[in-house]
Amino acid sequence: MHSRYELACGQRRSVFGRRRSLAALSTILTLLLAGCASSGNLPPVYHPPRPPGAKAVQEGVRKAAAEVKLTGALETSAVRPTDHGPGSYFACLRQGSGPSDRHPAYSVFFDDDAYKGVQSSVILDTCEAQPWVPFN
């Protein structure tokens, strides 16, 4: 027969053996999950939009004028950053010749050199307060 001491030691060995195998199993599972998490499909690095170039502004203003059916002489403002609208930068556009109250202003939006759209100018754009220059 076994003594109490031998039984107690045997039980301790089996408990410690189980703990070791559980620890090994959890370590293996953790490593497997960590391996799955390190995917090469990371999102692209964010690059903030930059102001459009002069050529992109000319092309965008021509597209916008055609969309809103402006004819004749056109006037634009300088390109400025914005936190509203479809793009990160915009320029104001209106039909030239005549008082400004008869010709509504439009905002032409850009992201980098990409034309993003045109919409009627809103108060926040402050197009009416901008210096206007003839568009070539």
Residue 76 tokens, joined: 């634009």
pLDDT at 8: 55
Q: Same domain for 74 and 125?
A: yes
Q: Same domain for 62 and 86?
A: yes
Q: Which of the pair, 17 or 130, is modelled with greater confidence? A: 130
Beta bridge partners of 90: 80, 109
- Distance, CA of 29 to CA of 15 (rounded, Å): 21
- Of 93, 130, 125, 126, the closest CA to residue 108 belongs to 93
pLDDT confidence bin for 119, thresholds 50/70/90 = very high
In a domain, 48, yes or no: no
In a domain, 47, yes or no: no
In a domain, 49, yes or no: no
CB atoms within 10 A of CB 119: 16
Q: Same domain for 89 and 127?
A: yes
The boundaries of the domain holding residue 70 are 54-134
pLDDT surpasses 90 at 50 = yes
pLDDT tens, residue by residue, 60-106: 999 999 999 998 899 999 999 999 999 999 999 999 876 555 789 99
What percent of the chain stands above pLDDT 70?
A: 81
Q: Same domain for 60 and 125?
A: yes
Q: Return the H-helix or E-strand segment holding 80.
A: strand 80-81
Q: Same domain for 72 and 7?
A: no
- Mean pLDDT, rounded, of the chain: 85
pLDDT at 70: 93
Q: Same domain for 15 and 80?
A: no
